[in-house]
Amino acid sequence: MTAQSSANSIFFRPASAAIVAHVGLGLGIGLGWLAGPMLAEFAPGEVVRSALLAGAAWLIGIWLGLAVMVLVSRRKAMELGLAVMASSVTRLLSALFLGLLIFLGAGPDGRSFWILFLTAGLGVLIAESLWAVKTLNRASEASASGVGA
C-alpha cells in the first residue's frame, strides 16, 4: 500500500468530535456564568432562560456543523482540514441565525443572552480547535509511520 493510500485509510470518529463540542458548549456556558457581575442585575430565572436559549442555538449549530464535517471529509482524517473549516462556518452561521431568531422571537434579555451566546461560542471554538489539531497530528503521524497499511 502506498503512503497516499495508507493516509486515506485513516478515519476519525465523529462521535469524539461531538463529545468534545458538547463539552466545549458546557464550558462556554460556564464561562458565561463567570461573567456574574455583569449578569447580577438580572433575575436568576432570566439568566437561566438566556443560557438555555443561547445553548440551544449553539447545539443545533454543532449538529449541523458535524453533519457537514462528516459529509465533506467522508470521515477520512487526511481530508479533515477543509472539513473543519466548512464545519466551523456552518456552525457559526447557523448558530448566529438561530440566535437572532431566538432573540427576536423569544425576547430574552439582550445583554445576558448575548454574553452567554458569545461565551458558549468561544467554548465550542476552543474545544473544536483542540480536537482538530490533535486529530490531524495523529493522522499525520500515522500516515508517516505507515500505520493503517
Question: How many distinct structural domains can be found in the chain?
Answer: 1
Is residue 104 domain-resident? yes
Q: CA-CA distances (angstroms) from residue 38 to 30, 56, 113, 114?
A: 14, 22, 12, 12
Is residue 99 domain-resident? yes
Residue pLDDT, tens place only, 114-132: 988 998 888 888 888 888 8
Parent domain of 70: 15-144
Q: Enter the DSSP assignment of 147.
A: T
Residue pLDDT, tens place only, 61-72: 988 988 888 888
pTM over 0.85: no
Is residue 20 domain-resident? yes
* 3-class secondary structure, 11: strand
CB–CB of 115/32 below 8 Å?
Answer: yes
C-alpha cell at 136: 490531524
Is residue 75 domain-resident? yes
Q: Which amino acid is at 90?
A: T
CA separation for the pair 82, 114 (Å, rounded): 29
Is residue 5 domain-resident? no
Is residue 4 domain-resident? no
42: pLDDT confidence band, cut at 50, 70 and 90?
Answer: low
Give me the residues paired with residue 76 across strands: 11
CB–CB of 73/80 below 8 Å?
Answer: yes
pLDDT of residue 92: 92
Element (H, E) at 59: helix 44-73
143: pLDDT confidence band, cut at 50, 70 and 90?
Answer: low
Is residue 3 domain-resident? no
Is residue 56 domain-resident? yes
